[in-house]
Each structure stands twice: as structure tokens, then as C-alpha cells.
Structure 1
Amino acid sequence: MRQFIALAFNSSFKEELVHIMDSLKEEGIEGKYYDSDNLHMTLAFFGETDRQDEIMEIIQSIPFPEITITLNRIGHFKKIYWVGIQDNPILNEYVNTLRNTLQAHDIPFDDKPFYPHITILRKAVEGDRTLQEVSTKDIKVELLQAHYLEEGLKYLPYKEQEVLEAINQIYKQKGHVTIAIDGRCGSGKTTLANKLKAYFDCHIFHMDDFYLQEYQRTKERYNEPGGNVDRERFKKEVLEPLLNHQDVLYRPFDCSSMSISEGTLYPYKPINIIEGSYSCHPELRDAYDITIFVDIDETLRLKRIEERNGKEALDMFIKKWIPFEEKYFSSFDIQNHCDFYFKAGR
């Protein structure tokens, strides 16, 4: 199992890299393009290692500085295409510190000189290109592991490997697993759910599809911690059928018509993921085998919400939705009741 420390990027930055790959495809350049989930920048490559916990301690011991990564060119070496970045002394200094610390702990890694780049294509031959510059500050350092699935190679952070192992273990014991992913808005709950779906044949159900119906929108209801979702309907229409190994008639709330849609029948599957804030409400929690809390730095959270929803929506989140979430998290101590804790950003 190949393992390496890498910079991981947010979805919008990966979309820019996908646009770059699409432009190469339009030019007729064929080859083995990277899956968007696998895009990263390698900082230290280990190959096979059984010292993951020591490596994670080293990563956590070295503060990750405020860094802006700016793409500025496409290059190639033999049959490999990569995207290069502007010269970044801060990144170089961080990588030197990281590698020196690994050496000090006698942890072997490939000590070739660090040339910052993001590989996007293999088995192709063409010339270098310039790029319109694209930047991001939304970066984090991960210890990644390579996994070979039916649909191809996937890279998964080491800490998420623990979740995979837990799911597999419970599935072997019980024959079915229900996972809840709760956490702050913009923290990557949906992204994590989709990553897990790449590994398992499962359904994903979203708490955002269970807005309150009009008759429920009372002052008393909104004053309840976690009261601004229709957990009663979610429990009846999703959780109870899953617990009884039955199909689910999934009926999202349609905000455009302010009504519940006719829905889609989801044939029963033994592995299911419940994604979204309020999914770990005490009235729902007993239905889950695994619970996960995804956190995020406040500055990064607001930045992501604005990028995703726009400035006007950000104001609504700040005034209404974020206070609702925080009241729910603190009232029920959601984070400390979850089995796993992840944090987006630094």
C-alpha cells in the first residue's frame, strides 16, 4: 500500500485542475488522467510503511503556515503531465522542516529534491504550456494511502482509513451498517460521504432534504435545539425502513414549491450514510452504528459558504443558520458523542 504526505485541496480548486485536464483532452491529448478525488501535491513519499501513527504525530507537531498556492504552468516529464506553481519559499521551508523531522526520527522516505507540482496525466507526450493563474489558500496536509478498487485507484487520508476499517468490521459482524456524518456547515460532510460511497455500495441520505413543513415553522419549534429540521419525518421515512431492512421512498422537501416531492424509491442496501447537520440529534442517534463529526475553522467556513452560496446567502447563514447549528451542537454536546472527529483546513 503506497503511502505519502501530501497537500490536499478543496473542491473548487480541484475543479480548476479538472478544467485544465479537460482543455488537454480537447486538444486530443490522450492518456491516463487523474480522478479529481486523487489530485494532490506530494511532499514526502514512503511507499510501504507501518509507522503511520508516528508520521501523523510529526504532521501535527509542525504548524502548517498560511500558504497560497498559485497554479501558473503545465509541464511534462517523459509521459507524465503536471501542473506547476509559482515559487513559494514558505512552502519550501515547511517541506524542509517536515523532511528533516522525518529524518530525525529515522523514518525512511524518498529523498529526491522537492519540486512542487500536481500530477494530472500519465502515459502521454506533449509540450509545456502556460496557464492563467489560479490560487487557493484552502489547503491541508494529509498522510494519504493508495487503495485499488473496482473503479480504479483511490487515495484516502490515513485518518479516514480508520472509518473504512470500522465500517468493514461492523458489516462483518452485523451484515449492515448505518453511518451518520454531522458537523458544521461548509466542513465537508457531503465530500466525506461521497468518498465513502466510492468504497461501498451504499445510499446517501441528506438531512438538508428534510426542511420543516409549513405547519411546523413555529416560534416554539425554532427555539428547540436542532428544531429546524423535520427529524420526525426523517425518522419515519428513512431510519425506520432502514432498521427494518426495507426500501426507502425518499421524498426531499422542494423549496421552490414549499412542498414534499413525490420522491424516488431507494431499494434497500445494507450500508447507508446519513449526511448533514442535525443527523446526530439524540432522537436519531440510537439508529446509527458509526457517528462522525466534521469540524472547520471559522474563517474557512465563512469563505466556503460565500464561495458556494454567495454573499447574500452568507449573511443569512451568519444571522440564522449558524446560530441554529451552534445551539444544537452545544446543547447536546454532539462532537463528544461522535465516534470520529475530523477537521477541515488547518
Structure 2
Amino acid sequence: MEKNEHYFLAVRLSKESKKLLHEKAEQLKSELKFARWVHPEDYHLTLAFLGNASESQLNKTKELVQKYIDGSSAFSLTIQHFGTFGRKDSPRILWAGVNKEERLHQLRNLVFTACEKAGFHLDTRPFSPHITLARKWTDSSSFSLSFLSINNSVEEKPITFEAEEVVLYRTRLEKTPKYEAVATFPLLTE
């Protein structure tokens, strides 16, 4: 295991939704001064951040995630709005949010429980489903959420995709894109 590697489980976005979301991000990029914009291939919806992990922990996690989500069905998600984390005037994260979907929360709870059973100590803050688009506001002027409502908000043209699989990703900080799929757990499709 390389020292810059960490792991997380996430819902993979479809290629089309990544493309459409990237187009929105490009529109925002010309107006919003963030230090780093996420590569479109790295868009995902995190269910559980694991951090560093041994091979045996990863094997146990794969086994338990498969067991816990067995029988879970795919479902639709809609990217509907933008938001930020961090200080309102100088946010550390710009994100795209998804509609409230009970099946997403159920899936997250199953994955979260499987990871805890595998021995991980996970973040216990409330689940806030989002797709990170950019990091670290750098403009000398204060950030304002009005930037987002003016700039073709996804509320006007929502992006819908099927959540069809959970993926265990490895982060490679020195690469672009930096997230590499290690294992995939398909959800049932009709």
C-alpha cells in the first residue's frame, strides 16, 4: 500500500451524467475562483470514507458490503442544486446535491454498517449526499451563493441518472484522474 492511498465506497455516476455535470462545472469555473476543480472522471457520491486500509480489511469490507447490499435494487437520482461546505464567504468545497431519495439513505446505511463490521471507525456526521466539484475558494472577494443561482443552476435542467453500482475506490493523489475502482458491487436492475 502506497502512503498516499486511501479508500472509500461510493455510488458511481453514469458517463452521461458526468458529462452533463462537467458542462455545468465549466460554466461555473469561469465565474468562481476555486483552487482545484475535480476531474469529471472523479465525480462520485461518497457513501463511506475508509481512509487507509490493510489488505485484510479491504477483503473483509468487500465481503461484507456484498453481503449487506445483496438484493438492493438500482434507483434514480437527480442532481438538482449546488451548495458549499465551509465558511459561507470562503467555502472549502463546492458541490452538486441530489434529490432526497430514501433508497440512497438505505443503501448508505447498509454500506456504513458493513464497513463498521469490517473494523473501520467512520465519520458519524449526518449523511449529506453530494458530488464534489471544486475545492478551496481563492478569490479575494467573498463568495456568495447568488453566484450559483445566476449561473444556470441545475434546478432549471436537472441531471438524472441510475444508481446502479457501489464502487470501492482507491485514491492516488499523484494521478489525474485520481480515483481508481478496486471493486464493484452491482445493484439489481430490471
> Is the pair's TM-score, using the shorter chain for normalization, greater than 0.5?
yes
Shift of 1:109: 2.2
Matched, 1:36 2:40: yes
Q: Is the 8 A contact 1:59 1:141 kept in 2?
A: no
Once residues 186 and 28 of structure 2 are traced to their aligned partners in structure 1, the CA distance between those partners, rounded to angstroms, is 31
Aligned equivalent of 2:77: 69
Q: In the alignment, residue 46 of structure 1 is paired with which amino acid?
A: L
TM-score with structure 1 setting the length: 0.44
Q: In the alignment, residue 70 of structure 1 is paired with which amino acid?
A: T
Q: Is the 8 A contact 1:76 1:126 kept in 2?
A: no
Aligned equivalent of 2:27: 23
Aligned equivalent of 1:117: 130
Matched, 1:59 2:65: yes
TM-score with structure 2 setting the length: 0.76
Sort the Cα spacing of 1:343 and 1:91 in 2 relative to 1 into closer, same or farther, 3 A.
closer
Task: Extract unaligned runs of 5+ from structure 1.
Answer: 160-341
Higher helix share: 1
Q: Is the 8 A contact 2:61 2:118 kept in 1?
A: no
Matched, 1:143 2:168: yes
Please state whether the residue corresponding to 1:158 is helix, strand or coil. strand
Once residues 49 and 80 of structure 2 are traced to their aligned partners in structure 1, the CA distance between those partners, rounded to angstroms, is 24
Once residues 59 and 168 of structure 2 are traced to their aligned partners in structure 1, the CA distance between those partners, rounded to angstroms, is 10
Q: Is the 8 A contact 1:46 1:110 kept in 2?
A: no
Shift of 1:134: 1.1
Once residues 82 and 113 of structure 1 are traced to their aligned partners in structure 2, the CA distance between those partners, rounded to angstroms, is 16
Shift of 1:69: 0.9
What are the Cα deviations for residues 97-135 of structure 1, in whole angstroms up to 9, with x where unaligned? 221233344332222221100001001244153422110
Once residues 53 and 147 of structure 1 are traced to their aligned partners in structure 2, the CA distance between those partners, rounded to angstroms, is 19
Once residues 27 and 137 of structure 1 are traced to their aligned partners in structure 2, the CA distance between those partners, rounded to angstroms, is 30
Aligned equivalent of 2:140: none
Shift of 1:153: 5.6
Aligned residue pairs, count: 163
Aligned equivalent of 2:181: 157
Once residues 46 and 65 of structure 1 are traced to their aligned partners in structure 2, the CA distance between those partners, rounded to angstroms, is 24
Sort the Cα spacing of 1:28 and 1:120 in 2 relative to 1 into closer, same or farther, 3 A.
closer
Q: Is the 8 A contact 1:3 1:146 kept in 2?
A: yes
Shift of 1:148: 2.8
Alignment partner of 2:98 out of 74, 85, 92? 85
User: Identity of aligned pairs, percent?
Assistant: 23
Aligned Cα root-mean-square deviation (Å): 2.2
Please state whether the residue corresponding to 2:75 is helix, strand or coil. coil
Sort the Cα spacing of 1:28 and 1:105 in 2 relative to 1 into closer, same or farther, 3 A.
closer
Matched, 1:6 2:14: no
Greater RCO between the two (CA within 8 Å, min separation 6)?
2
Structure 1 runs of 4+ with >6 Å offset:
342-345
